[in-house]
Chain A
Amino acid sequence: MNINELNELKGKALKDLTVSEGYRVVVGAASCGIAAGAKTVLATLQKEADAKGLKNINIVPAGCIGMCVYEPIVEVFAPGQDKVTYINVDAEKAAKIVAEHLAKGNQVPEYMIKDGAVRNLNEIQFYQKQKRVVLKNCGYINPEDINDYIALDGYQALAKVLTTMTSEETVELMKASGLRGRGGAGFPTGMKWSFAAKNVADQKYIICNADEGDPGAFMDRSVLEGDPHAVLEAMAIGGYAIGATKGFLYVRAEYPVAVHRLKIAIKQAKELGLMGKNILGSGFDFDVDIRLGAGAFVCGEETALIASIEGKRGMSRNKPPFPANKGLWGKPTVINNVETLANIPQIYLHGAEWFKSFGTEKSAGTKVFALGGKINNTGLVEIPMGITLREVIYDIGEGCPNGKAFKAVQTGGPSGGCITTADLDTPIDFDNLVAVGSMMGSGGMIVVDEDNCMVDIARFFLDFTVDESCGKCTPCREGTRRMLEILDKITLGKGTPKDLETLDELAANIRLTSLCALGQTAPNPVLSTMKHFKDEYEAHVFDKKCPAGVCQALLSIVITDDCKGCTKCVKVCPVDAITGKVKEKHVIDDSKCIKCGACIDACSFKAIIKK
């Protein structure tokens, strides 16, 4: 295929995508959509439309539309009209949408948001505050059809780079754009490319890091499932820039849908000559291969990831040498994260200045966040850098559910920290989040409310890092374990004031002496919660109380005045801690009670509670 043919195909594909008559029906079918029932909805829509013999109806699966709470989502596009969004669709609703909307043109307001008061997602604040660069195609195009991607300027950036720019110019433009790595650390992508480009070698590699291990983060999965070609196109551009002819996508094994769609995408790109030998007649060869992870968080670290692709245990090593000098099989290698790559075709299409027009001076562009936890609008959001956390949590996320009080937002996952109400007006960018004691991380943003115990949250993250430490260096392997033991003690009510000091000391040493970022950042969740929620730690240590009522061992089980004296609880108590006469209120001896909760389950009057 040459450029003229690509443009010809684009014209044709665009016609198919923007239906001139009839309807285009899109079903959000990313992993979470599928989990909510998107496949049934897709099948029902198609079956019903076929049964009715409807013409000019194009029903397609798409990636994540972004608003998880409304899954499965169906959007109906018609020429010259605003789209219509149906939410929480099931088979029955799908059949009615076909019978009414698609067959007769009668929209079905009762299946829309607020019974039709909101006719499509663009009308709600959740979308209005967003700026979609990375996610521009997500939830709209069919990720399993390359034509949809080509219709919306797909592979045009690669064509532009290959035919009008030198490798050096390609690197320079990336530098000028100010794009920083979206995997967490925020290292300038253009710099990374320039290091690898300078090295002379018979073979270089570009790797897409899709080992999205941060618990509570699903941005990269959504991009891969919704717009896989954007990542492939970017890898080819990066390959051209640094002089690599081979790329690897390292995807975590927990993402089968993403892998499936990537495989289709690679096959389609190869068939059209957009991957492989002599791409678009430019003489540039580029090929990609998928490698699956096998469940190791540390493989998100560059050197561990390289070891894993080489078929070894995923253990990190000392840097330098940096991968840009000595990477995969000892060759110069660039590793870019999925979201970073997804920005790249847009940057080459519209220019560095365009990209810098979003975001802040030092953090250009947008950032995708996976908003989750105790928040009303869980979902995938892409915001221009520089808007405040408050806007994300209250305007986009609409606050905590059930009227509970917001306590903190956790960013950066096991390497990050929590940000409290006091810092909610901080504009989001790489440097500001570090300044308030957390970090950007890959984009997980978990909201916790008054019912969550911060000591328990810190313990949760440490438990994660202890499990995921590769074991190579002592500070990380042993140090994090000792910290976890102390936190376990504290949550069990056996903590001493000395423990708090020891935690501080261990944290400082682990930070300084660990081999890789996993260990160096592992103490962050503890330090951050100790700083902002010292009172909670102290309540656990001094008063032996868990203010949020989470830590089991610190709770008391009590019998309320609703007790009818039926004696059921006395019979189930394994340690004979409950006493009382028949038909009189019973009492629990706290010194004997082991908090097993058997009495709570046994009580027919809901008279036994944890306090």
Chain B
Amino acid sequence: MQNECKCNCNTADDPRYVELKAYIDSVKGNEGIAMSVLQEAQTIFGYLPLEVQKFISQNIDVPLAELYGVSTFYSQFTLTPRGKHHIGICLGTACYVRGAQKLVDKFVAELKIAVGETTEDGLFTLDATRCLGCCGLAPVIMIDEDVYGKLDDVDAIPGILDKYRG
């Protein structure tokens, strides 16, 4: 095989690598696939560790340096593992003028982590996100796929967090 993995990592048996390889094979030959392969890899692995980037580099013939450049440029890519639940506090303008900063402060106090960090138990990652486009519900947060709107009362937050702790 022309583009067989030549590194010594133990990827052949890992079903995640098999899945990624299958995706790469399905898009190979198209131009400019680096981004979509990285996106797919992040969906599969949850983040983009260096080994995964090396694997991609070898399989799509894009230098690792270039891939690393791409994966560190875009805010949606992460090189470190994330918590089980992802909390995104919308810091779009509408949310901001409606008091999103208070929500950030409350989450920081409740979880005892800074924005961008993951709790020690690996349960939550806290992020301030770009506009989620639900400006009518401002201020808005998103935990995984769930959207919580009109969060004017910061005291509602501990209760919301408890739902994910169970």
Interfacial residues, chain A to chain B (CB-CB below 8 A): 31-32, 34-36, 67-69, 71, 212-218, 221, 253-255, 291-297, 308-315, 329, 370, 372-374, 378-379, 410, 413, 444, 446, 448, 452, 457, 460-461, 470
A254-B132, A297-B130, A378-B135 known; A373+B70 contact, CB < 8 A: no
Please name 19 pairs of A and B residues whose Cβ atoms are closer than 8 Å in the assembled complex, sorted by A: A32-B135, A32-B137, A35-B134, A35-B149, A216-B92, A217-B135, A253-B39, A292-B36, A295-B75, A295-B130, A309-B32, A310-B32, A311-B31, A312-B66, A370-B135, A372-B94, A373-B138, A378-B136, A452-B97
- In the bound complex, do residue B70 and residue A313 qualify as a contact, i.e. CB atoms below 8 Å apart? yes
* Contacting residues, chain B, for A293 (C-beta < 8 A): 74
* Contacting residues, chain B, for A36 (C-beta < 8 A): 137, 149
- In the bound complex, do residue B137 and residue A213 qualify as a contact, i.e. CB atoms below 8 Å apart? no
- In the bound complex, do residue A292 and residue B137 qualify as a contact, i.e. CB atoms below 8 Å apart? no
- In the bound complex, do residue A69 and residue B97 qualify as a contact, i.e. CB atoms below 8 Å apart? no
For the complex, is B47 an interface residue (Cβ under 8 Å from A)? no
Cα distance, A115 to B133, chains bound together (Å): 29
Between B38, B66, B149, the greatest number of chain A beta carbons within 10 A of the residue's beta carbon is seen for: B149
For the complex, is B76 an interface residue (Cβ under 8 Å from A)? yes
Partner of B93 from A291, A372, A378 at Cβ < 8 Å: A372
For the complex, is B111 an interface residue (Cβ under 8 Å from A)? no
Q: Which residue of A lies closest to B135 (CB)?
A: A372
- Least distance between B119 CB and chain A CB atoms (Å): 22
- In the bound complex, do residue A71 and residue B136 qualify as a contact, i.e. CB atoms below 8 Å apart? yes
- In the bound complex, do residue A457 and residue B76 qualify as a contact, i.e. CB atoms below 8 Å apart? no
- In the bound complex, do residue B138 and residue A372 qualify as a contact, i.e. CB atoms below 8 Å apart? yes
- Least distance between A546 CB and chain B CB atoms (Å): 14
Partner of A296 from B33, B34, B75 at Cβ < 8 Å: B75
For the complex, is B85 an interface residue (Cβ under 8 Å from A)? no
* Contacting residues, chain B, for A292 (C-beta < 8 A): 35-36, 39
- In the bound complex, do residue B138 and residue A448 qualify as a contact, i.e. CB atoms below 8 Å apart? no
* Contacting residues, chain B, for A291 (C-beta < 8 A): 32, 35-36
For the complex, is B82 an interface residue (Cβ under 8 Å from A)? no
Between A35, A69, A313, A413, the greatest number of chain B beta carbons within 10 A of the residue's beta carbon is seen for: A35
Q: Which residue of A lies closest to B142 (CB)?
A: A35
- In the bound complex, do residue B134 and residue A31 qualify as a contact, i.e. CB atoms below 8 Å apart? yes
* Contacting residues, chain B, for A296 (C-beta < 8 A): 73-75
Cα distance, A587 to B69, chains bound together (Å): 55
Cα distance, A153 to B34, chains bound together (Å): 39
* Contacting residues, chain B, for A216 (C-beta < 8 A): 92-94, 131, 135
For the complex, is B91 an interface residue (Cβ under 8 Å from A)? yes
- In the bound complex, do residue B32 and residue A378 qualify as a contact, i.e. CB atoms below 8 Å apart? no
Between B74, B129, B149, the greatest number of chain A beta carbons within 10 A of the residue's beta carbon is seen for: B74
For the complex, is B77 an interface residue (Cβ under 8 Å from A)? yes
- In the bound complex, do residue B93 and residue A68 qualify as a contact, i.e. CB atoms below 8 Å apart? no
* Contacting residues, chain A, for B36 (C-beta < 8 A): 291-292, 311
* Contacting residues, chain A, for B33 (C-beta < 8 A): 311
Interfacial residues, chain B to chain A (CB-CB below 8 A): 31-36, 38-39, 62, 66, 69-70, 73-77, 91-94, 96-98, 129-138, 140, 147, 149
* Contacting residues, chain A, for B39 (C-beta < 8 A): 253, 292, 294
* Contacting residues, chain A, for B32 (C-beta < 8 A): 291, 309-312, 329
* Contacting residues, chain B, for A295 (C-beta < 8 A): 74-76, 130
Q: Which residue of A lies closest to B150 (CB)?
A: A36
- Least distance between B96 CB and chain A CB atoms (Å): 5
A254-B129, A292-B36, A372-B135 known; A312+B91 contact, CB < 8 A: no
- In the bound complex, do residue A374 and residue B35 qualify as a contact, i.e. CB atoms below 8 Å apart? no
* Contacting residues, chain B, for A213 (C-beta < 8 A): 130-131
- In the bound complex, do residue A294 and residue B94 qualify as a contact, i.e. CB atoms below 8 Å apart? no
- Least distance between A542 CB and chain B CB atoms (Å): 25
A216-B94, A372-B94 known; A294+B35 contact, CB < 8 A: yes
A253-B76, A446-B93, A457-B97 known; A68+B137 contact, CB < 8 A: yes
Partner of A373 from B69, B97, B131 at Cβ < 8 Å: B97
* Contacting residues, chain B, for A308 (C-beta < 8 A): 35
* Contacting residues, chain A, for B136 (C-beta < 8 A): 32, 67-69, 71, 372, 378-379
- Least distance between A502 CB and chain B CB atoms (Å): 25
- In the bound complex, do residue B31 and residue A310 qualify as a contact, i.e. CB atoms below 8 Å apart? yes
* Contacting residues, chain A, for B34 (C-beta < 8 A): 311-312
Cα distance, A293 to B70, chains bound together (Å): 12
- In the bound complex, do residue B75 and residue A311 qualify as a contact, i.e. CB atoms below 8 Å apart? no
Q: Which residue of B lies closest to A315 (CB)?
A: B73
Q: Which residue of B lies closest to A447 (CB)?
A: B97
- In the bound complex, do residue B135 and residue A294 qualify as a contact, i.e. CB atoms below 8 Å apart? no
- Least distance between A441 CB and chain B CB atoms (Å): 11
Q: 12 extra interchain contacts, Cβ-Cβ under 8 A, other than A35-B140, A372-B136, A372-B138?
A: A34-B147, A36-B149, A71-B137, A212-B133, A253-B76, A254-B131, A291-B32, A292-B35, A294-B38, A296-B74, A311-B32, A370-B135
- Least distance between A601 CB and chain B CB atoms (Å): 10
Cα distance, A309 to B69, chains bound together (Å): 15
Cα distance, A17 to B32, chains bound together (Å): 41
Cα distance, A216 to B93, chains bound together (Å): 5
* Contacting residues, chain A, for B132 (C-beta < 8 A): 31, 254
- In the bound complex, do residue A373 and residue B98 qualify as a contact, i.e. CB atoms below 8 Å apart? yes
* Contacting residues, chain A, for B73 (C-beta < 8 A): 296, 313-315, 470
Cα distance, A216 to B32, chains bound together (Å): 30
Cα distance, A254 to B145, chains bound together (Å): 11
- Least distance between B14 CB and chain A CB atoms (Å): 24
* Contacting residues, chain B, for A312 (C-beta < 8 A): 32, 34, 66, 69-70
- Least distance between A158 CB and chain B CB atoms (Å): 26
- In the bound complex, do residue B94 and residue A329 qualify as a contact, i.e. CB atoms below 8 Å apart? no
- In the bound complex, do residue A311 and residue B130 qualify as a contact, i.e. CB atoms below 8 Å apart? no
* Contacting residues, chain B, for A370 (C-beta < 8 A): 135
- In the bound complex, do residue B69 and residue A313 qualify as a contact, i.e. CB atoms below 8 Å apart? yes
- Least distance between A96 CB and chain B CB atoms (Å): 24
- In the bound complex, do residue B133 and residue A32 qualify as a contact, i.e. CB atoms below 8 Å apart? yes
* Contacting residues, chain B, for A313 (C-beta < 8 A): 69-70, 73
- In the bound complex, do residue B93 and residue A294 qualify as a contact, i.e. CB atoms below 8 Å apart? no
Q: Which residue of A lies closest to B67 (CB)?
A: A311
- In the bound complex, do residue B93 and residue A373 qualify as a contact, i.e. CB atoms below 8 Å apart? yes
Q: Which residue of B lies closest to A309 (CB)?
A: B32
Q: Which residue of B lies closest to A374 (CB)?
A: B97
Cα distance, A293 to B38, chains bound together (Å): 11
- In the bound complex, do residue B135 and residue A221 qualify as a contact, i.e. CB atoms below 8 Å apart? no
- Least distance between B120 CB and chain A CB atoms (Å): 23
Partner of A374 from B92, B98, B129 at Cβ < 8 Å: B98
* Contacting residues, chain B, for A71 (C-beta < 8 A): 136-137
* Contacting residues, chain B, for A460 (C-beta < 8 A): 93, 96
Cα distance, A70 to B148, chains bound together (Å): 16
Q: Which residue of A lies closest to B69 (CB)?
A: A313
A215-B92, A296-B73 known; A311+B131 contact, CB < 8 A: no
Partner of A294 from B31, B74, B147, B149 at Cβ < 8 Å: B74
